[in-house]
Amino acid sequence: MSGTRLEGRSAVITGGGRGIGRAIAEAFAREGARVVVAARTEAQIEAVAEGIRRAGGEAHPVSVDVTSDDSVTALVSRARDLLGPVEVLVHAAGVYRPNRFLDYTMGDWEEIVGVNLLGTVRVVRAFVPDMVARGWGRVIPIASTAGKYGSVLQSAYNASKHGVVGLTRCLGLELASTGVTVNAICPGFVRTEMIDEALPRMAELIGADDVAQVEAALVSRVPLGRLLEPDEVAHLAVYLASPESEAMTGQSLTISGGLIVA
C-alpha cells in the first residue's frame, strides 16, 4: 500500500467484486482505508479482499444482496464489527439490461430499478444514521452518464440512474448541515465486465455483425477516442472520499472522456 489520503478511514464498497467497485476498493486500500468489499458473489469479493491483503492493506469480504432489507442490515452490523463506525460508503452495485422499451417486462423493470435505484436508497438509509451521529461521512453512489441524458435501448437503466442523480441532489442538500456529503459519480463507457456482457445483446438489438462493431460505435462517440478504465473512475472516488472534497455535496460528477459535457 502506498498512499495516505484515506489513512485509517473505514469504507464499505458495494458491487466491490468486479469492475468499477473493485477498482475503488483497491484504490481506497492503497490510500490507507480499511475496506469491506461487498457483493452477491462470494468468490469475487474474496478474491478482491485477498489481493488487497497481499498488497499490505486491510480488506474484508461480506456478501450482500442490496434488494434485501435483511441482507443490508446484516452488512451494516458486520461492517461495524469489522471496522467500527463506517465513514465512507460507495454504492457501486448495479445491473444493466439493454432492450427495447416495449420488450422490457415489468419483471425487468423491477429488477433494474430495484437494484440500481432502490438498492441505493436501501443501502444509504442503512449507513447514513451512524455518519450523522458522528458528524462526518462520505456517501458516493455510482450513477452513470445515463442518468443525465436520454438514449435508446436502455430506458429502464436510464430511468434508474436518473433516479440516483435526483436522490444525490436531494440528500446533498438535506444532509449538508450534518457533516455528511453526498456526491455521485457518472461514468461514461468504462471497460468492465458489465459492458462486455451487454455487448452481444446490443449487437443483436441493432443488427450489428459482431461485438467489435458495437464497441467501435461506442468509442466513436467518445471525444477522447477510447473506453475509460475502472481505475480512472476510482481516482475520482478517492477524491470524493478525502478531506479535499469537503466543500462539495449534492453533485453528480461526469467522467466520460467527453461523451457528455453536462
Q: Which of 96, 104, 149, 157 is catalytic?
A: 157
In which order are the strands placed within the sheet that holds 180-182?
58-63, 34-39, 10-14, 88-91, 137-141, 180-182
The Cα–Cα gap between 241 and 256 comes to: 20
Is 157 noted as a catalytic residue in this protein?
Answer: yes
> For residue 88, which of 41, 123, 42 has the smallest C-alpha distance?
123
- 4 touches 31 (CB < 8 A): yes
- 193: Cβ–Cβ under 8 A, 6 or more apart, which residues? 18, 19
Q: How many other C-beta atoms are found inside a 10 Å radius of the C-beta of residue 112? A: 24
- H helices within 55-105, ranges in order? 69-83
End-to-end CA distance of the chain, in Å?
Answer: 35
**The C-alpha cell of 70 is what?**
435483511
> For residue 88, which of 199, 197, 232, 237 has the smallest C-alpha distance?
237
**The C-alpha cell of 30 is what?**
492503497
Which positions are catalytic?
157
